[in-house]
A and B are shown apart, each in its own frame.
Chain A
Amino acid sequence: MNEAPLLHNVLSWVVQTVLLASAGALLPVFLRVRHPRTQLAYGHILLAVCLLLPVLEPWHHAPAGPAATAAGGETLRDSTDAGLPAPSAVPAQPAPGPRAAAPNLPPSVQTRIPRSSLLWLLLVAGAAGRFAWLLAGLWRIRRYRIAAMPLYPIPESVRAASSITHADAVLCISPDVPGPVTFGWLAPVVLLPESFLTLGEEAQCAIVCHELLHVHRNDWLVTLLEELSAAVLWFNPGVWLLLAETRLAREQLVDAETVRLTAAFDPYVEALLAIARTRPALDLAPAPLFLRKRHLTQRIHALLKEVPVSKLRLLASYASMTAILACAGWFASHSFPLMGRSLPPDPAAAAPAPVAPEPAPAPQVQEAPPSGRRIQTLIPLANLPVAPVPDDPHELVTGPVQAVTAAADRTAALALWSRARRVHQLHLPGTPPYQLVANFTAGGTGTGTVTETWWSGQKWRWTGTLGNSTAVRISADGLRYGEPAGGAIPTPVHVLRNAIFWAAETANANAQMRTAAVIWNGKPTTCLLFSYLPATEPTAGPRTWDEDEYCIDNASGLLQVRSIAPGTYVEYTYGDSQFHGRSLPSRIAVYEAGANALDAQIAMTDAGPEDPSVYTPTPHMLANGPLQAGDLPYQTMMMAPSAAVSGTVKPVIVHASVDGLGNVQDAGVTCASDPALAQPALDQVRNRHFPPTGFIRQMYVDVRFVPGR
């Protein structure tokens, strides 16, 4: 799990445990439950529930999109959301490498600590403090033990206590301890204060009896576990209260047992008072102490007023408490849910669409469940020839293509790709805070603007407008909120953001690769073609339907043209201005089916001082709850048996916007091997129900018409 959901889950767990433990600690007080034995068990159960809540409660799982699953390959995406800069995917610490050094960063940026990191720091520091306190206590006990003298000869009072409790321990007289202390599990030791020797025989017997009962019950081990739990849950006042009640219940239980065993009430109370009169000391020892001063009154009161509790009343009280705690737990887990990994999409949802009356038996292509960047699960197409990609005025690869087989060639090609990719990775640590404004014209749709203000992976906001529709997304300390919810982002806004921020993210370094040398704007340029089909014999033929294309200027290493699928081309133009030494495109033009679909002018400036109001979610956003990460655009393939096709597979590429429920919102053909198949392909995609993901996706569906009825 990456940092933001982990932090979200930890915070949810913190709130849940505070609610549950506080309710659990207060309920016995309100219901006047006074039964140490059951209270002790109750406290331990509640403590265990608090610690194990993440295991016991149901987690909220959002349906997955391609980006929801960890991406393989060498690439590190700066965001999982094609429409959102996702802080969750941004490493909390700067990645090693040249970018981490960032010599030109302003000091304010370099020294800024995200609030989430502060929270982590606080949680860990608190737990570490409690552990240190515990260790100091153990160390102090060890010192007392070393300095103590064994009690010899053993008095009759000690023999009597050992006899009636059926327990034994090494008893020592310590000049340091203010009151008796028991510790040790396999070789238990009881440290007695020097004042013990001045007490009467019956009082001595009562004290030793009390301590040996702790030995018999293994209370030291239980106390250590309680202290460890308290260290983990140090932030929880409910747990403090609960543990205080548990400690008191344990002592009251042992008090009652001691009095019963010795039948010596008065001497026992005298012993308690005698110990209470000794000099005060800190309750540092992580061991059952004979007496904590704040417990004295309650313990003597419990001894004096011990009355049998009706079993019915006790049962009714605990039944009520269980019911109330169950409600509190349900409320806590639903109000502050733990977010699990995204579930893989329902395979049933990806079942073939009712395209043809009967699917063709031989050639089969199934739509792949999205699981990475662009994944295709293919069943071989029975060696049928595939129609060539038609000419497109924006296609750069028209000449010879070389298969990259040699390791050195592959390394060089990947280095070029990584260089181009890095320019667009604006959401990684080390990027100076910026404000980006992109004004665009969407062919036939109108004009719009995309604005993004980014301070860090945890603090950002972007707004996309097209005509009257506006989409806003913000990140507040690692949680994403937005309006409108449900991923309703205008398609041009989505396409433009993908082109700016995730220009080279859809490729995978593990794919098959071919290269073509071309001239673009008069400069030598290398086009990299990535294919994700199962390995076949590399060819020198023209671009294939499944290849995506990145054309990169050899000299500058800047991405010039990106084509995620035939028929869709994004052209980047770079001006003279730079942002902190980084060349960014000043113009982006998107072409689909030979026409200009989007034209954007981009400007980027420093963000200026951080303004929390910019990324503070509105009450409406909060009411909608945190949003899921989106996904990168990706290709998928679907089979379409058709009687109109014979002897050849005829692909058609459809660009579709698919909403979170898997319904196609918008679709258009960008490239067709046969114009007659454009409308059937569009119909196929529009009628298709894709696996729901909870967020909008840009999909390039490769509809492959194969011979069939």
Chain B
Amino acid sequence: MKKTQKPVPTGLELELLKVIWQRGRATVREVHRDLLAKREIAYTTVLTMMGVLERKGHLTKKAGPRAYVYVPAQPREKVVEGMIDEFVERVFNGSAKPLLVHLVEDRNIPLEDLDEIEKLVRSKRLER
């Protein structure tokens, strides 16, 4: 199983990251404005979280004329992958099978998606 080197973001951090992924790059003020459109959140809380995300390595900042502009340090897929890996490791002791079984049995997955998953499994098997 692949191990992600950076700590996975918490819920609030992920919320901020989603805004930045969506924008591509953003200042603290912009992130706060976007979040504020969804729910009540203090500007200082956003500041704190941006600092935490930077320290965890999810964001890097570049000097702008009036404010630092934050950009994601990794693509969204990489972060999500890390989060799932961490989840599988923590909940299913590193085995992905229970997760897949759970998803196939319990979730109402459309047939098209199931076909696609089947193709993906088949090609993965051929590769081995």
| A202 and B65 contacting across the interface, CB-CB below 8 Å | no
- Tell me which of A160, A163, A263 has the highest count of chain B C-beta atoms within 10 A of its own C-beta: A263
| B44 and A263 contacting across the interface, CB-CB below 8 Å | no
Quick one: given A260-B64, A263-B68, are A166 and B51 in contact (CB under 8 Å)? yes
Q: Report the Cα distance A615→B17, complex, angstroms.
A: 83
Per the 8 Å Cβ criterion, residues 34-53 of B in contact with A are 42-45, 47-52
Residues from chain B with Cβ under 8 Å of A157 in the complex: 44
Residues from chain B with Cβ under 8 Å of A159 in the complex: 44, 48
| A163 and B66 contacting across the interface, CB-CB below 8 Å | no
Check B6 for interface membership: any CB of A closer than 8 A: no
Q: Report the Cα distance A308→B44, complex, angstroms.
A: 28
Cβ of A660 to closest chain B Cβ, rounded Å: 64
| B27 and A156 contacting across the interface, CB-CB below 8 Å | no
Residues from chain A with Cβ under 8 Å of B43 in the complex: 201-202, 205, 264
Cβ of B55 to closest chain A Cβ, rounded Å: 7
Cβ of B47 to closest chain A Cβ, rounded Å: 4
One digit per residue, 1 when the CB lies within 8 angstroms of any chain B CB and 0 when it does not, for chain A 153-164 equals 000110111111
| A160 and B47 contacting across the interface, CB-CB below 8 Å | yes
Q: Report the Cα distance A157→B42, complex, angstroms.
A: 10
Quick one: given A201-B43, A201-B44, are A260 and B55 in contact (CB under 8 Å)? no
Find B66's partner among A162, A165, A201, A265 (CB 8 Å cutoff): A265
- Tell me which of A156, A164, A259, A264 has the highest count of chain B C-beta atoms within 10 A of its own C-beta: A164
Cβ of A628 to closest chain B Cβ, rounded Å: 59
| A308 and B45 contacting across the interface, CB-CB below 8 Å | no
Check A262 for interface membership: any CB of B closer than 8 A: yes
Closest to B70 in A: A263
Residues from chain B with Cβ under 8 Å of A201 in the complex: 42-44
| A262 and B28 contacting across the interface, CB-CB below 8 Å | yes
- Number of B interface residues at 8 Å Cβ cutoff, please give it: 21
| A160 and B66 contacting across the interface, CB-CB below 8 Å | no
Q: Report the Cα distance A202→B67, complex, angstroms.
A: 15
Check A6 for interface membership: any CB of B closer than 8 A: no
Q: Report the Cα distance A300→B1, complex, angstroms.
A: 54
Check A674 for interface membership: any CB of B closer than 8 A: no
Residues from chain B with Cβ under 8 Å of A259 in the complex: 66-67
Residues from chain A with Cβ under 8 Å of B18 in the complex: none
B contacts with A: majority SS:
helix
- Tell me which of B51, B55, B65 has the highest count of chain A C-beta atoms within 10 A of its own C-beta: B51
Residues from chain B with Cβ under 8 Å of A205 in the complex: 43-44, 47
Residues from chain A with Cβ under 8 Å of B48 in the complex: 156, 159-160, 163-164
Check A261 for interface membership: any CB of B closer than 8 A: yes
Q: Report the Cα distance A163→B50, complex, angstroms.
A: 8
Check A306 for interface membership: any CB of B closer than 8 A: yes
Residues from chain A with Cβ under 8 Å of B44 in the complex: 156-157, 159-160, 201-202, 205
Quick one: given A260-B64, A263-B28, A265-B66, are A156 and B42 in contact (CB under 8 Å)? yes
One digit per residue, 1 when the CB lies within 8 angstroms of any chain B CB and 0 when it does not, for chain A 253-275 equals 00000011111110000000000
Q: Report the Cα distance A160→B43, complex, angstroms.
A: 9
Check B119 for interface membership: any CB of A closer than 8 A: no
Check B111 for interface membership: any CB of A closer than 8 A: no
Check B101 for interface membership: any CB of A closer than 8 A: no
Closest to A165 in B: B51
Closest to A205 in B: B44
Check B29 for interface membership: any CB of A closer than 8 A: yes
Q: Report the Cα distance A157→B64, complex, angstroms.
A: 23
- Tell me which of A166, A261, A306 has the highest count of chain B C-beta atoms within 10 A of its own C-beta: A261
Cβ of B67 to closest chain A Cβ, rounded Å: 4
Residues from chain A with Cβ under 8 Å of B63 in the complex: 260
Quick one: given A201-B42, A263-B27, are A308 and B47 in contact (CB under 8 Å)? no
Per the 8 Å Cβ criterion, residues 139-169 of A in contact with B are 156-157, 159-166
Cβ of B35 to closest chain A Cβ, rounded Å: 14
Cβ of B56 to closest chain A Cβ, rounded Å: 11
Closest to A265 in B: B66
| A306 and B65 contacting across the interface, CB-CB below 8 Å | yes
| A261 and B65 contacting across the interface, CB-CB below 8 Å | no
Cβ of B33 to closest chain A Cβ, rounded Å: 11
| B51 and A164 contacting across the interface, CB-CB below 8 Å | yes
Closest to A162 in B: B51
Residues from chain A with Cβ under 8 Å of B47 in the complex: 160-161, 163-164, 205, 262
Residues from chain B with Cβ under 8 Å of A262 in the complex: 28, 47, 67
Residues from chain B with Cβ under 8 Å of A265 in the complex: 66
| B67 and A260 contacting across the interface, CB-CB below 8 Å | yes
Cβ of B69 to closest chain A Cβ, rounded Å: 9
| A164 and B50 contacting across the interface, CB-CB below 8 Å | yes
Q: Report the Cα distance A205→B65, complex, angstroms.
A: 20
Quick one: given A156-B44, A202-B44, are A260 and B68 in contact (CB under 8 Å)? yes
Across the A-B interface, the 10 shortest Cβ-Cβ residue pairs = A163-B51, A263-B67, A160-B47, A160-B44, A164-B51, A263-B29, A160-B48, A163-B48, A263-B28, A156-B44
Q: Identify the A interface with B (CB < 8 A).
A: 156-157, 159-166, 201-202, 205, 259-265, 306, 308
Given contacts A163-B48, A263-B28, 14 further A-B contacts (CB under 8 A): A157-B44, A160-B44, A163-B50, A163-B52, A163-B55, A164-B54, A201-B43, A202-B43, A259-B66, A262-B47, A263-B67, A263-B68, A306-B65, A308-B65
Can you name 7 A-B pairs with beta carbons within 8 Å? A160-B51, A163-B47, A164-B54, A202-B43, A205-B44, A263-B27, A264-B29
